[in-house]
Amino acid sequence: MAVLATQDLVIDIPGRPDGAPLDLTLAPGQIWGVLGPNGAGKTTLLHTLAGLRAARRGAVTLDGQPLRQLRRKRVARALAVVFQERQDGFPATVLETVLIGRHPYLAPWDMETADDLAIARGALECMELASLEPRLVNTLSGGERQRVAIATALAQTPEFWLADEPTNHLDLRHQVCVMELLRTQAQAQRGVLLCLHDINLAARWCDHVLLLYPDGEACWGPSGTMLVPEALERLYQQPLARTELDGAQVFVPKATGAIKPPRPAAHGRHSQ
Amino acid sequence: MSGAEGGVSPAAAARPAIGSGRFVPPLLALLCLAVTSVLVAVALGSVRVPPAELWAVLTGDGSPLHRTLVLELRAPRALAAFAVGGLLAVAGALMQVLLRNPLADPYVLGLSGGAAVGALAAMLAGLGAAVVSGFAFAGALLSTVLVFGLAHGTGSWTPTRLLLTGVVVAAGWGAVITFMLAVGPTERLPGMLYWLMGDLTYARTPWVAFAVLGAVCVLVIPLGRSLNVLARGPLQAAALGVPVRALEWSIYVGASLITAVAVTTAGSIGFVGLVVPHMLRLVLGNDQRLILPAAALAGGALLALADTLARTMIAPEQLPVGVITALLGVPTFLYLLYRSR
């Protein structure tokens, strides 16, 4: 079984101390949630794990082999990335966009086959996009585009999902729909890692959690041990109330009654 | 292009979604257009060659006058026009994907400016046509290296940085060109102006441009799907297994070279590289595997027809072909853009 792991990984955020090196193991069947305030490095970590960004130190390995030594195409067959931002300078249709998920499987001269089309249509079906197939992506709403991005990753049939806030722009039902899809993927022995802003989504769907602090410190482990008010309050600098509902923990921010003065912005930090 | 209200791609609704078969009808239609344009170009002119006579000439018959006219005078020029138009359109399509900017064209990176300065300098010095071409080619390459070196600068280049560097370098060349025109002797000015607006009068050997066009099509079409992915942004492309840096480098060098060949053959002809790819995108959708060969055919046909008009409209005088490409291209483009809403 494939494993995506990091050894003493320090992500490269200019001007930030190394903090805690990460020794993570994303195994098949697991769903990891990455939580942290804005600018903590969630997106940078995700891009580093995907091999799209050089690490400051340490390595990311896929099945024991350093990611940067593997061919990009091999990596693309194993890892699908759902980005937070996307470009549609030259808009394609929804179907064409999802079909590019099959790119890693095709040689330069190959055309997409009927199988590829079936996989893409299945992904569209799954994200309830079948009726939008001929539409141009730049005419879709934000939430619909987000679902197209997830369908594209689904068409990539990856072993690992690296998703940056996959529930962005989605209405409640589609948030649940996406999280359920990722759970199904995990049950089918895929590894899933998500950057999330919503603690409650993490509490409900993630079995492991990584907390990233703005100063580079980090801690990680099974969600039961990580999702405790003390740790989360320190993470977000925000008092929280916790309750239990339908067997799941629910965290709600407490009103602090005062707006803190803005802290000086760290230089050169990457936005989330 | 910008959002159609209904949002359905005109290309998507009608054709099947996969398989190379869906590319055949539009390419066949464009091939017919291309052949027709070259035939029209060799048939029309000061002496009109009727279709029956044209057929006779092409099959190795016909009167000596017509044979000379068609095979030695008009055919090389028509084929050169076709090849140059095809090269410019393909270069435009590539640059637009590379810079992810719909306003990019083959000249946006200052290429034509560099070529023009080279060509005009050779003309000012009173050198022959072959030297003018050589200087133009050298100028284009110099500009390419200059823009890339400056945009590269501290180690990273983004499309925006490359685009801005190109635009500014082009403005610099523009000033040099104006200076040369201002100080140039009066009798050389018409030749210089014609070169600046595109002129196929001296294009006697179409084969270089044609060979380059053929080679480019063979090399670039297998990259089509990678280019489709690249158009979604470099990060997404890398995540899908595209070697982004290598691909961007190849496009940049390739598009620059083919533009240099086109400019060297026919002077700087504006508008083909900008408008032809967009016209095709509006009608055929956005799959580079279709757009690139279609651009070669449509760009070639447009320039062959435009050059025919340039030769015949005010015969025996000739117009710069750039005037015609703009006069034909602007209304067609605006119509398609308007209709796409």
pLDDT at B154: 60
Considering only the beta carbons, identify the residue of A87, A88, A134 that sits closest to B12: A134
Look at residue B13 and tell me whether its pLDDT is greater than 50. no
User: What angle do helix axes B129-152 and B244-266 make, rounded to 10 degrees?
Assistant: 150
In chain A, positions 98-117, which contact chain B (CB-CB < 8 Å)? 99-101, 103-104, 106, 108-109, 111-114, 116-117
Which residues 147-206 of B are in CB contact (within 8 Å) with A? none
pLDDT digits (tens, 9 = 90+) for A121-175: 999 999 999 999 999 998 999 999 999 999 999 999 999 999 999 999 999 999 9
Cα–Cα dist A206/A201, whole Å: 8
Give φ, ψ of B86 to 5 degrees.
-60, -45
A99-103, B70-74, B229-233: which has the minimum mean pLDDT?
B70-74
Task: Express as a percent the part of chain A with pLDDT over 90.
Answer: 79
CATH code, B251: 1.10.3470.10
pLDDT the model gives residue B53: 84
Task: State the SS3 of B218-247.
Answer: HHHHHHHHHHHHHCCCHHHHHHCCCCHHHH
Least Cα distance to A164 among A192, A206, A133 occurs for A192
Please say if the pLDDT value at position B204 is more than 70: no
As a whole number of angstroms, the distance between CA B113 and CA B119 comes to 10
A79 vs B: CB within 8 A: yes
Higher pLDDT, B2 or B186: B186
Both tokens of B269, joined, read 């002809």
Question: Residue A62: its chain B contacts at CB < 8 A?
Answer: none
pTM reported for the whole predicted model: 0.88
ipTM of the complex: 0.89
**In the structure, what pLDDT confidence band is assigned to residue B193 with cuts at 50, 70 and 90?**
confident
Q: Cβ separation of A72 and B226 shorter than 8 Å? A: no
Residue with tokens 């994200």: A127
Q: What is the mean pLDDT of chain A?
A: 91
Lowest mean pLDDT among A102-106, A182-186, B230-234: B230-234
> Which tops the pLDDT comparison, A272 or B97?
B97
Q: For residue B8, give the chain A residue with the closest CA.
A: A135
Torsion of CA B304, B308, B311, B312, to 10 degrees: -170
Give contacts of A79 with chain B, Cβ < 8 Å.
Answer: 239
Whether pLDDT at A187 is above 80: yes
* pLDDT, average across residues A181-200: 96
Mean pLDDT score across all residues of chain B: 85
Closest-CA distance, B3 to chain A, in angstroms, reads 6
Q: B4 pLDDT exceeds 50?
A: no
Q: Is the pLDDT of residue A264 over 70?
A: no
Structure tokens at A164: 């940056």
Residue B48 is assigned to a structural domain of this protein: yes
- Domain, as residue range, for B183: 10-339
Question: Under an 8 A CB cutoff, do A47 and B13 touch?
Answer: no
The pLDDT of A99-110, averaged and rounded, is 92
Is residue B87 assigned to a domain? yes
C-alpha to C-alpha distance for A86 and B293, rounded to whole angstroms: 27
In chain A, the domains with their CATH numbers are 4-253 (3.40.50.300)
- The rounded percent of chain B whose pLDDT value lies above 90 is 30
Distance to chain B for A39, nearest Cα, Å: 19
> Is B100 in the A-facing interface, judged by CB distances under 8 Å?
yes
Chain B residues in contact with A145 (beta carbon < 8 A): none
pLDDT of amino acid B7: 54
- Total count of domains within chain B: 1
Give yes or no for a contact between A137 and A97, defined as CB atoms under 8 angstroms apart: yes
How confident is residue A192, by pLDDT bands cut at 50, 70 and 90?
very high
Please check the confidence at residue B218 and state whether its pLDDT lies above 60: yes
- Give CA–CA dist B332/A63, Å, rounded: 55
Q: Return the pLDDT at B30.
A: 95
Least confident of A76-90, B189-203, B275-289: B189-203
What's the pLDDT score for residue A178?
96
Task: Find the closest chain B residue to A106 by CA distance.
Answer: B225
Surface of A (50-69) touching B: CB under 8 A: 50, 52
Rounding to the nearest 10 degrees, give the CA dihedral for residues B277, B278, B282, B283: -30
Mean pLDDT in residue range B230-241: 92
Q: Which two tokens stand for residue B27?
A: 């390419």
Q: Is residue B72 part of a domain?
A: yes
Task: Round to whole Å and give the CA distance between B43 and B34.
Answer: 14
Interface probe, candidates A83, A109, A136, A161, chain B, greatest B C-beta count within 10 A: A136
- Output the six-digit token pair for A108: 């330069």
Q: Let me know if residue B335 belongs to a domain.
A: yes
The pLDDT value given to residue B6: 47
Q: What is the pLDDT of residues B95-154, one digit of tens each?
A: 988 888 877 888 777 888 898 899 899 988 888 778 888 898 899 889 988 888 888 766
Report the DSSP beta bridge partners of residue A61: A5, A66
pLDDT at A272 over 50: no
Residues near A173 by Cβ (< 8 Å), separated by ≥ 6? none
What number of residues does chain A have?
Answer: 272
* pLDDT classification of A62: cutoffs 50, 70, 90: very high
The reply to whether B1 falls in a domain is no
Q: Is residue B4 part of a domain?
A: no
B141 within a domain of the structure (yes/no): yes
Report whether pLDDT(A33) > 80: yes
What's the mean pLDDT in B37-41?
Answer: 93
More confident residue, B40 or B208: B40
Q: Which residues of B touch A75 (CB under 8 A)?
A: 241
Amino acid B2: pLDDT: 40
What is the pLDDT at residue B203? 67
A96 contacts B285? CB cut-off 8 A: yes
Going through chain A in order, the beta strands assigned E by DSSP cover 4-10, 25-26, 31-35, 57-62, 65-66, 79-82, 160-164, 191-195, 208-212, 218-222, 240-245, 248-253
Cis amide linkage into residue A14, ω under 30° from 0 = no
Measured between CB atoms, which of B4, B18, B243 is closest to A114?
A: B18
- For residue B239, give the chain A residue with the closest CA: A76
Cα→Cα distances A157→A32, A151, B240, Å: 19, 10, 12
